[in-house]
């Protein structure tokens, strides 16, 4: 069971990724393109070119989790946009994104303390 907690750092890759890649390929994208350590415990979120699937990569101190969600119809319409290679989300916003909702329009209480980047 993968549980998202409010303390988790969530980093969303804004550009699509080749979903033929496995754990090692996704970890390489984290290091080279997102400039982040895949062993840090950060939740890394990726989408495919058509935005019909999301992959999540997470290291939990014993090994990697690589999870995928593929929509049965449609695409993830509210994927974050920006000029940087990645964007951060709160764990609650990721939950909304995984349900194909709009995390930017969500009425979420702000975290009671700043989450370390």
Q: Is the pLDDT of residue 16 over 70?
A: yes
Confidence at residue 86, expressed as pLDDT on a 0 to 100 scale = 95
Model pTM score: 0.89
Residue 67 within any structural domain of the chain: yes
**Degrees, nearest 5: CA angle 102-98-18:** 105
Domain-located, residue 117: no
Average pLDDT over residues 34-55: 97
Question: Where in the sequence is the domain holding 31, given as residue range(s)?
Answer: 10-104
Does 109 map to a domain?
Answer: no
Residue 79 domain-assigned (yes or no): yes
53 falls within a domain: yes
**Over the chain, what is the mean pLDDT?**
91
Average pLDDT of span 110-117: 62
Q: Kindly tell me if the per-residue pLDDT of 117 is higher than 60.
A: no
User: Within the chain, what is the greatest distance between any pair of CA atoms?
Assistant: 39
In a domain, 110, yes or no: no
Backbone angles phi, psi at 44, to 5 degrees: -100, 130
Q: Which residue has the higher pLDDT, 84 or 109?
A: 84
The confidence score (pLDDT) of residue 111 equals 67
CA–CA separation, 37 vs 41, rounded Å?
Answer: 8
Average pLDDT over residues 65-70: 96
Number of compact structural domains in the chain: 1
Q: Is residue 37 part of a domain?
A: yes
CB-based contacts of 7, cutoff 8 Å, min separation 6: 91, 115
- Does 32 have pLDDT greater than 60? yes
Task: Give the 3-state secondary structure of the chain.
Answer: CCCCCCCCCEEEECCCCCCCCCHHHHHHHHHHCCCCCCCCCCEEEEECCCCCEEEEEEECCCCEEEEEEECCCCCCCCCCCCCCCEEEECHHHHHHHHCCCCHHHCCCCCCCCCCCC
For residue 59, tell me if it sits in a domain.
Answer: yes
């Amino acid at each position: 069971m993968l549980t998202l907690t409010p303390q988790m750092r969530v980093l969303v890759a804004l550009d699509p990724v080749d979903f033929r890649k496995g754990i090692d390929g996704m970890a390489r994208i984290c290091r080279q393109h997102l400039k982040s350590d895949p062993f840090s415990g950060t939740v890394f979120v990726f989408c495919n070119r058509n935005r019909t699937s999301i992959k999540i990569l997470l290291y939990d101190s014993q090994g990697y989790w690589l999870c995928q969600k593929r929509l049965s119809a449609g695409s993830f319409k509210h994927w974050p946009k920006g000029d940087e290679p990645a964007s951060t989300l709160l764990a609650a916003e990721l939950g909304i994104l995984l349900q194909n909702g709009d995390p930017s329009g969500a009425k979420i209480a702000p975290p009671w303390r700043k989450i370390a980047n």
